[in-house]
Amino acid sequence: MNKLAPSILAADFAALGEDVKKVENAGAQYLHIDVMDGAFVPSLSLGFPVIESIRRNSIMVFDVHLMICDPDRYIQAFADAGADIITVHAEACTHLNRTVAAIKEAGVKAGVALNPATPLSALEYILEDLDLVLLMTVNPGFGGQKYIESCTRKIQELRRMIDGRGLETDLEVDGGIKLNNVQKVLDAGANVIVAGSAVFSGDAQKNVEDFLKILDAK
């Protein structure tokens, strides 16, 4: 089943609880939470207190995307804060198997993210251990960027890799996904769709409903 993961990076942080409720009530299954450290990516975003606060009022699957260096330091803390899925960047981990094992030991699902220019071969020997692969379709660090077209082929190739190995791994895409290009990434093989600005600019409830119509149709 396809899933929508609205990214709260584009929400109104002065009304974050309400924005989360809006997308939850409209039927979004995942909540995408972007954590940035100002080192792996240029920007800073949010951390534990924010996640703990919204956790108390939401039953959505918390999909925590760590854009941070050396994430091993914080795996347990993000699990305790309420993450259901923790995704780390392959580019940010020196010992990726160890990090993935630590995520699972913390009792949450494990994801690995790849920047647009990172080849799929980075997953060759770890794919079987993952619950989710996140393909960045922009360079991480900011919302509202334009989808990088060469990523479509990468999504297709990863879908072939997952299916070819008989796996159930979620294939998530993140960056520049809008109502007018989501069909393309679904067709390429993605099944978890992150959308930030396309959900939270304007009427979030209607935007989620419009996305879900396209996602469910597949």
9 binds ligand DX5 (CB under 6 A): yes
State CA 19 to chain mean position distance: 18
Work out which of 144, 183, 187, 203 binds ligand DX5, going by CB under 6 A.
144
Q: Which of residues 49-78 bind ligand DX5 (CB under 6 A)?
A: 65
Nearest to 207 by CA among 42, 79, 27: 27
Nearest to 118 by CA among 96, 102, 103: 96
37 binds Zn ion (CB under 5 A): no
Specify whether 34 is catalytic. yes
Convert residues 47-76 into a mask of x (bound to Zn ion by CB under 5 A) and - (unbound). Answer: ------------------x-----------
Residue 191 interacting entry, from ligand DX5, Zn ion, none, C-beta within 5 to 8 Å by type: none
**Integer Cα distance of 86 and 184 in angstroms:** 26
Q: Which two tokens stand for residue 119?
A: 């080849």
- 8 A C-beta contact, residue 75 and residue 99: yes
DSSP-derived 3-state class of residue 32: strand
Work out which of 141, 179, 205, 214 binds ligand DX5, going by CB under 6 A.
141
Torsion region of 82: left, alpha or beta (phi above 0 gives left; psi -120 to 50 gives alpha): left
Convert residues 91-120 into a mask of x (bound to ligand DX5 by CB under 6 A) and - (unbound). Answer: ------------------------------
Q: Which two tokens stand for residue 15?
A: 């009304």
Specify whether 12 is catalytic. no
174 binds Zn ion (CB under 5 A): yes
- Quick one: which segment of 18-26, 77-85, 101-109, 168-176 binds ligand DX5 (CB under 6 A)? 168-176
**Integer Cα distance of 68 and 124 in angstroms:** 23
Chain residues binding Zn ion by CB under 5 A are: 34, 65, 174
Chain residues binding ligand DX5 by CB under 6 A are: 7, 9-10, 32, 34, 65, 138, 140-145, 174-177, 194-198
